[in-house]
Amino acid sequence: MKRIFILGILSLCLIIGVAFAASNGSDQVQAQNYTKDQKQPLEQLLLTLFNQKIDEAVANYYNDDSLYIQWVKDNVVEVDQSEKGHTLEYTHNGKKQQFGYVVKFTVRPQKDKILGTDTITFGVQPGAGVEPTIEMISYDHNDD
């Protein structure tokens, strides 16, 4: 299982490197506007790789592991990538952290009804070894 996850992350790094273009000379790379057909495979890969971490984050936030997660139809996944091995600085609640990638997922947890629209942000730091470090940076809840 770990090997599949590691291979997935490495594939993700390759896909992101090819799929994203540099912006205005900054160290940050933003997603281009891809058609739905071009974006869907990358989103599915990321959702598959992060599914367990997303489930855990939602269960911890609501203190309930029986919730169902509904994916937002558009812009489910947003990826920011550092350029040329630099680190991407991410600030949340005044705390600065640095990562190679920042991945945000937008979900709509529900039990009997939709509980809101939540954005879960993970930082991914490629490791010197085989396995990258993945850390949940923030969980932002918005009532609908």
Residue 111 contacts residue 68 (beta carbons within 8 Å): yes
Looking at residue 70, what is its pLDDT?
85
pTM for the full predicted model: 0.68
Of 125, 144, 126, 87, which is closest to residue 136 (Cα–Cα)? 125
Looking at residue 144, what is its pLDDT?
73
pLDDT (tens digit, 9 = 90+) per residue, 94-133? 777 778 888 999 999 998 899 999 999 998 888 767 788 8
Instruction: Give every CB contact of residue 95 below 8 A, 6+ residues apart in sequence.
Output: none
pLDDT (tens digit, 9 = 90+) per residue, 128-139? 677 888 889 999
Most confident of 33-47, 64-78, 108-122: 108-122
Residue 133 contacts residue 124 (beta carbons within 8 Å): yes
Query: Is pLDDT larger for residue 2 or for residue 97?
Result: 97
